Amino acid sequence: MKKRWYGLFIISIILIGFFLRVYKLDKTPPSVNFDEAALGYNAFSILKTGKDEYGNFLPLSLRSFNDYKPALYAYLSIPFIAAMGLNDVSIRMVSAIAGTVSLIFLYFFLKSFIKNKYLRIFIFIILSLEPWRLHFSRVAFEANLSASFFIAGAWYFYKYRNWKIQKAKILKFLLVSVLFALSAYSYHSARVAVPLFTVFWALDPLQIIFEKKLFTYIKWVFSKRLFALYPLLLFILLILPVFLTTQSTLVLTRFKQENIFDRYFPYAPKELIATDNAWLNWQSNPVYYFMGLISGHVLSYFSPINTVQRIFHWIRGSVQYIPGFSMFGWLESIIFIFGLVYLIKNIKKLEKYRFVLYWIIAGAAPAAVTWNWFHPLRSLNIFPALEIVIAIGFLNLYKFAKNNLTKLTRLALFGGLSVVFALTIIFTVCNEYNYSISENNGEYQPGGFKEGMQILKSMQDNYDQVIIDSPHAQSYIFLLFYQSFPPEIVQRYAGIRPKPGIEGNLDFNFDKFVFKKFDWPVQKNEHKTLIWTSSEVKEDEIKNTPGAKIIWVNNAVMEKATAIISKD
């Protein structure tokens, strides 16, 4: 294939990838989730007033649900919101573009690892439409934006990995540091993953096993690898403002909520702890179990069943759930094993394989210190690296086929694989576009708000108060998002909102909106009132009450999700 045609082919794969990421973004996923709504509304608020929903001027962290979200995603969404208004599409565009840009760097990595261009293109097509790539690019995930910056940073870090300090140009260091810093401004995980990654690369701990003498190893680190810490220093300087502008304890709010240390203590089975002080229990010491938990959390990302099939309860029913898959296509799990074996086999000889390994371990570390065993969203940075392992697996398989099979058998093998992968890609797209709506239409993508808010908006001016009853703890954000509610009004209520550190129900009353339980025997006596409720409603009782009317709002799966009751 001529170079020009080859290039065009790659570009067309990326463009198809972009098309599949943005096509019908308003329809599927069926509505925004809590975090998307929060990011979108804060971006809208900054666009209109220069302040977030709490009135903080150009914040680096969004207080939002007292979880202090990194703010970069919201800032990058502003142009789209300005152009398209505040809606499902404008808030998801950044993620869709980030997911597409990430493909470019994935290709660069593939080019470096796979020399055969036909094999490379075959792998690129498969990897560019992995279930996780499609899903995470179609939802406004800060983690997806972060992962794209991370892979870009990792690419330049990889490209310049063998710099000599004297030859290094500050701009190259800066490029790596800026990309990694942007990743850290997008999502918390990168703030831990980047330092670990650079330190791992600088110290190359596996060399300790390969190098017999400690002195030789230290000399080697000083002469060959210490340069890798320069981007780290720049990175620290660049992300320092996050910690300086917001109280550092607040930035760590999410970690405090989710960390492994409190949740699992005493780590060992409680029935086996015979002493008052768990640490003194010699038969089943917490240290042994804790070490097991941490190593298990990291190595869970190498377990094919997790990346391909197993759905943990904290994933099911959350926005990261991809029905029918975990992250990768099914056959990739087996190819991954080939890749992993080949990676281990060449771990000493090929330093680029160690680079990939350190990337995975460093990227998994932030998720490993939270209580969840396997958490794709918190470790999204590593999935491109896992894809590189899959690519290595393909390479290994190809080499095996080339050396051991006849040309005809080889053709049959790769022909068969092509058919299976093509069908899987079609299945993945259909699955993401339609089937996932029926599976994900739960608490995290609540139906009703998207469909009903415009109806409510058209009616609310004629009523004195609007009662909102929703089982969701932060339902106010959907009201703000889908009504594009004036942020100036919301900011006025910042003082009465739940204080930082408070978790749980963060709804607050503002303007004419009151958040409370639906109680028809009491509320039927109210006048000029609108009620929004998803509780069980006895339609006859309402119809029999003078001046009361009811409108039903269906969700994405044709279920009655919400009732809007008007009482004159």
Partner 1 sequence: MGFSYPPTEDQLRIISPFYTLLSSDNLLWILRIFSLLLVIASLYLWWKLLNRLINKRIAFISVVIILISPTIFVLWMLHPFDCLKFFLISIFISLAMSIKKKWILFSIIGSCVLILLSSVFTSSERSSFLHKLSLSDAQSDVNIRFGAEDKLTDPVEILLSLKRVSYNKYFFYYKNLINEVIPFFDLETIFYQEIHPLESKSVVLFIWPEIFLFLFGIYFLYRNKYKKLSQFITLMFLISFWNYIFCPNEPYRKFVMILFPISILIALTINEGFKRSIGFMQKSMFIATFIVLMYGIGTNYYDLFNRTSYWLDNRPLFYDFVFKTISEKGVDNYSKIQVSSLVGKTEMYCNFYLKKCDTDKFVFKSFDLTKEKLEDKKLYAGFVGEFIGPDYKNNMNSNWKNMISGNEINIIKIDNLRDTIAYKYGNEIIVGEKR
Whether omega before 498 lies within 30 degrees of 0, making that bond cis, reads: no
Select from 154-162, 212-220, 247-255, 511-519 the region that touches partner 1 (CB under 8 A): 212-220
The nearest distance, CB 246 to partner 1, in angstroms, is 33
- Measured CA to CA in angstroms, residue 364 lies from 7, 185, 348 at distances of 33, 18, 22
Give the list of residues 6+ apart from residue 241 with CB closer than 8 angstroms, or none: 60
Of the residues 97, 98, 531, 556, which one makes contact with partner 1 according to CB under 8 A = 556
User: Should residue 15 be labelled a site residue for partner 1 when binding is judged by CB under 8 A?
Assistant: no
Of the residues 348, 402, 492, 527, which one makes contact with partner 1 according to CB under 8 A = 348
CB-based burial label for 99 (10 Å; 0-12, 13-18, 19+):
buried
User: Should residue 373 be labelled a site residue for partner 1 when binding is judged by CB under 8 A?
Assistant: yes
Residue type, 9: F
The nearest distance, CB 433 to partner 1, in angstroms, is 4
DSSP-assigned beta bridge partners for residue 469: 533
Please identify, using beta-carbon distances, which residue of 231 and 304 lies nearer to partner 1.
304
Residue type, 480: L
User: Should residue 493 be labelled a site residue for partner 1 when binding is judged by CB under 8 A?
Assistant: no
User: Should residue 259 be labelled a site residue for partner 1 when binding is judged by CB under 8 A?
Assistant: no
User: Which residue's entry shows tokens 């701990």?
Assistant: 205
The nearest distance, CB 531 to partner 1, in angstroms, is 23
Q: State in Å, rounded, how far the first CA of the chain is from the last one.
A: 73
User: Should residue 305 be labelled a site residue for partner 1 when binding is judged by CB under 8 A?
Assistant: yes
Q: Which of residues 23-62 bind partner 1 (CB under 8 A)?
A: 23-24, 27-28
User: Should residue 289 be labelled a site residue for partner 1 when binding is judged by CB under 8 A?
Assistant: yes
User: Should residue 265 be labelled a site residue for partner 1 when binding is judged by CB under 8 A?
Assistant: no
Q: Which of residues 190-209 bind partner 1 (CB under 8 A)?
A: 208-209
User: Should residue 554 be labelled a site residue for partner 1 when binding is judged by CB under 8 A?
Assistant: yes
3-state secondary structure 187-234: CCHHHHHHHHHHHHHHHCCHHHHHCCCHHHHHHHHHHHHHHHHHHHHH
User: Should residue 116 be labelled a site residue for partner 1 when binding is judged by CB under 8 A?
Assistant: no
Site string for partner 1, 58-97 (x = CB under 8 A): ----------------------------------------
User: Should residue 412 be labelled a site residue for partner 1 when binding is judged by CB under 8 A?
Assistant: no
Select from 100-108, 339-347, 360-368, 475-483 the region that touches partner 1 (CB under 8 A): 339-347
- Dihedral sign from CA coordinates of 155, 159, 162, 165: negative
Select from 332-340, 407-415, 463-471, 504-512 the region that touches partner 1 (CB under 8 A): 332-340
Q: Which of residues 449-488 bind partner 1 (CB under 8 A)?
A: none
User: Should residue 118 be labelled a site residue for partner 1 when binding is judged by CB under 8 A?
Assistant: no
Task: Give the Cα-Cα-Cα angle 39, 41, 46 (nearest 5 degrees).
Answer: 95
Of the residues 16, 89, 236, 334, which one makes contact with partner 1 according to CB under 8 A = 334
Please report the beta strands in 58-192, taking only residues with DSSP state E, as ranges in sequence order: 61-62, 69-70
Selection from 529, 492, 534 nearest residue 514 by Cα:
529
User: Should residue 1 be labelled a site residue for partner 1 when binding is judged by CB under 8 A?
Assistant: no
Helix (H) or strand (E) segment spanning residue 552: strand 548-554
User: Should residue 304 be labelled a site residue for partner 1 when binding is judged by CB under 8 A?
Assistant: yes
User: Should residue 337 be labelled a site residue for partner 1 when binding is judged by CB under 8 A?
Assistant: yes
The nearest distance, CB 288 to partner 1, in angstroms, is 6
Please identify, using beta-carbon distances, which residue of 168 and 347 lies nearer to partner 1.
347
Q: Are 86 and 484 in contact (CB under 8 A)?
A: yes
User: Should residue 309 be labelled a site residue for partner 1 when binding is judged by CB under 8 A?
Assistant: yes
* Size of site (CB under 8 A) for partner 1: 66
Integer Cα distance of 251 and 389 in angstroms: 33
The nearest distance, CB 92 to partner 1, in angstroms, is 15
Of the residues 177, 186, 189, 285, which one makes contact with partner 1 according to CB under 8 A = 285
Integer Cα distance of 96 and 90 in angstroms: 10
Please identify, using beta-carbon distances, which residue of 156 and 328 lies nearer to partner 1.
328
User: Should residue 296 be labelled a site residue for partner 1 when binding is judged by CB under 8 A?
Assistant: yes
Selection from 146, 165, 162, 167 nearest residue 233 by Cα:
165
Q: What is the DSSP string of 312-368?
A: -TTTTTSTT--TT-SSS-HHHHHHHHHHHHHHHHTTTT-HHHHHHHHHHHHHHHHHH
Select from 41-49, 420-428, 475-483, 486-494 the region that touches partner 1 (CB under 8 A): 420-428
Please identify, using beta-carbon distances, which residue of 284 and 509 lies nearer to partner 1.
284
126-152 as b/e, with b when 16 or more CB fall inside 10 Å? bbbbbbbbbbbbbbbbbbbbbbbbbbb
User: Should residue 438 be labelled a site residue for partner 1 when binding is judged by CB under 8 A?
Assistant: yes
Helix (H) or strand (E) segment spanning residue 514: strand 513-515
Of the residues 198, 253, 306, 534, which one makes contact with partner 1 according to CB under 8 A = 306
Of the residues 344, 411, 489, 502, which one makes contact with partner 1 according to CB under 8 A = 344
Selection from 162, 281, 297 nearest residue 223 by Cα:
162
Q: Are 232 and 181 in contact (CB under 8 A)?
A: no
The nearest distance, CB 178 to partner 1, in angstroms, is 35
Binding-site ranges for partner 1 (CB under 8 A): 23-24, 27-28, 208-209, 211-214, 217, 269, 271-272, 283-285, 288-289, 291-293, 295-296, 299-300, 302-306, 308-310, 312, 324, 330-331, 333-334, 337, 341, 344-345, 347-348, 373-374, 420, 423-424, 426-427, 429-430, 433-435, 437-439, 554-558
